[in-house]
Structure 1
Amino acid sequence: MEETEAKTCEGGDAHYWYHGDKDAIVRRLKRIEGQVRGLQRMVDDDKYCIDILTQISAVNRGLQAAAVNLLEGHLAHCVADAQTSGDAQEAEAKVKEASAAVARLLRS
């Protein structure tokens, strides 16, 4: 998994925009983690393939919801801040970054 250099969207604080929503995001990811562990148990227990596929679909929807939440926040904060900063290069870079993220999400 590629990790980009830590950048802040607002001012010089050490946190990304989602810092205030971090607990909710972590809860959602832990719920997804539990679902994935459940999938492993289902396979270990030789559960019906359609039931496993149904649960895989639920995990995918959970991940998509988390991704959309993060993307919406990125657009509302990071991209919007860059647009109003007066720095045209930064604004263009943030839009390209968001477009690349959307493209990755659509490929997955």
Structure 2
Amino acid sequence: MTVDEEASAAVLNRLRRAQGQLAGVIAMIEAGRDCTDVVTQLAAVSRALDRAGFKIVASGMRQCMTAEDGAGQEPMTVEELERLFLALA
């Protein structure tokens, strides 16, 4: 399975945002910020990563509805998609 261009751009956007948020969390810890603030920002990073993963899986589901993914590969099975979803749960 490959990620289509539109989904890829959205995923990269989310990952870059998460990368920036994570750098912020590291800086917060280094600065001795309150644990409530740190955990709040860490949760935002986690959500951003989850959304990126779900976008990738959703792209795979769209491709799974077609005979091939355009790269000559067989579509993912329902079991493979289920494993991907569960990995994000």
TM-score range, shorter chain: 0.7 to 0.9
Does the Cα contact within 8 Å between 1:82 and 1:94 map onto a contact in 2?
Answer: no
After TM superposition, the structure 1 = structure 2 runs for residues 66-105 of structure 1, keeping only pairs within 5 Å, are 66-77=52-63, 79-82=64-67, 94-105=77-88
Aligned to 1:48: 34
Identity of aligned residues (%): 26
1:30 pairs with 2:20: no
1:57 pairs with 2:43: yes
Q: Which has the higher contact order (CA 8 A, sep 6+)?
A: 2
Does the Cα contact within 8 Å between 2:7 and 2:55 map onto a contact in 1?
Answer: no
Aligned to 1:87: none
Higher Rg: 1
Q: Deviations over 1:7-31 (max 9, x none)?
A: 5xxxxxxxx2422443332122111
Q: What root-mean-square deviation, in Å, do the aligned CA atoms of Structure 1 and Structure 2 show? A: 2.0
Question: What SS does the corresponding residue of 1:70 show, helix, strand or coil?
Answer: helix
Q: Which runs of 5+ in 2 are unaligned?
A: 69-73
Q: Which runs of 5+ in 1 are unaligned?
A: 1-6, 8-15, 84-89
TM-score for both structures, normalised by structure 1: 0.67
Aligned length: 84
